[in-house]
């Protein structure tokens, strides 16, 4: 049951000019691949571990690399080539249940983007910004996780990687510009699919 790197659902240069081909190539083939490799190594070591102490010692590696694999797998599919570039559906939020929920919760789509970017930019160090569905209230909320911690408290609807490896080669230290640009390549169709699945899930 080894994990493998999922293929990107688009070409490495498909998200340009908002996310460069160089970033996407390195991010997918180097960073994500490394999480996959390290997760497989940690799981193999866990199976061989014979004492509680040995298993406890592997928890950090499982959490970090397992989270990295989960988060990046989500991230690739919640991006899409930009509609403004004539390449795809990225950045387009059509009328429907997700748009209605966003407007009902945040007042407008623009307010969601502003609040999301403000909250996410404030993460100290590496982490992820999320639009998640609170399973208790069934309301959309903006939440963050640090390092590679996956979102466990909410159902992830949209996740944005704010590790420097996600933007530094193109946006240098200006995280705000990266966060502003990424809305042009957010796959709202995938976000709505996750939203509908979450709202309709009996597990919530
Ligand atoms: Fe990343």
CATH at residue 162: 3.55.40.20
The per-residue pLDDT of the chain, averaged, comes to 96
Predicted local distance difference test score (pLDDT) of residue 200: 87
Both 45 and 123 in one domain: the answer is no
**CA 17 to the chain's CA centroid:** 19
CA of 34 to the centre of ligand 1 (A): 11
| Residue 136 covered by a domain | yes
CA of 155 to the centre of ligand 1 (A): 19
Instruction: Please answer whether residues 135 and 161 qualify as being in contact, where contact means their C-beta atoms are separated by less than 8 angstroms.
Output: no
Residue ranges of the annotated binding site are: 27, 72, 161, 165
Both 113 and 33 in one domain: the answer is no
Both 33 and 67 in one domain: the answer is yes
Question: Which residue range forms the structural domain that includes residue 136?
Answer: 97-200
CA of 74 to the centre of ligand 1 (A): 11
Count of structural domains, the chain: 2
Q: What is the pLDDT of residues 150-167, one digit of tens each?
A: 999 999 999 999 999 999
* Residues 6+ away with beta carbon under 8 Å from 103: 109
Predicted local distance difference test score (pLDDT) of residue 43: 97
- Best CA proximity match to 35, nearest among 95, 75, 83: 75
Both 106 and 175 in one domain: the answer is yes
What number is the average pLDDT over the span 101-130?
97
Domain end position, chosen among 77, 110, 143 = 77
161 in helix, strand or coil?
strand
- Best CA proximity match to 193, nearest among 121, 136, 139, 133: 133
CA of 72 to the centre of ligand 1 (A): 6
pTM for the structure as a whole: 0.95
CA of 9 to the centre of ligand 1 (A): 16
């Amino acid at each position: 049951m080894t994990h493998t790197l999922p293929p990107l659902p688009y070409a490495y240069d498909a998200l340009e000019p908002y996310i460069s081909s160089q970033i996407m190539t390195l991010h997918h083939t180097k960073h994500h691949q490394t999480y996959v490799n390290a997760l497989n190594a940690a799981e193999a070591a866990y199976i061989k571990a014979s004492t509680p102490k040995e298993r406890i010692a592997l928890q950090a590696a499982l959490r970090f690399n397992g989270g990295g694999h989960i988060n990046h797998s989500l991230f690739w599919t919640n991006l899409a080539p930009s509609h403004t570039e004539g390449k795809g559906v990225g950045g387009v939020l059509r009328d429907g249940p997700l748009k209605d929920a966003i407007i009902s919760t945040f007042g407008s789509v623009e307010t969601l983007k502003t609040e999301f970017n403000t909250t996410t930019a404030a993460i100290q160090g590496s982490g992820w910004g999320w639009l998640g569905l609170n399973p208790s209230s069934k309301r959309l909320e903006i939440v963050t996780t640090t390092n590679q911690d996956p979102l466990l408290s909410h159902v992830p609807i949209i996740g944005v990687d704010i590790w420097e490896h996600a933007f530094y080669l193109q946006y240098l230290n200006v995280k705000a510009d990266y966060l502003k640009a990424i809305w042009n390549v957010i796959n709202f169709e995938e976000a709505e699919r996750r939203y509908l699945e979450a709202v309709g899930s009996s597990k919530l």
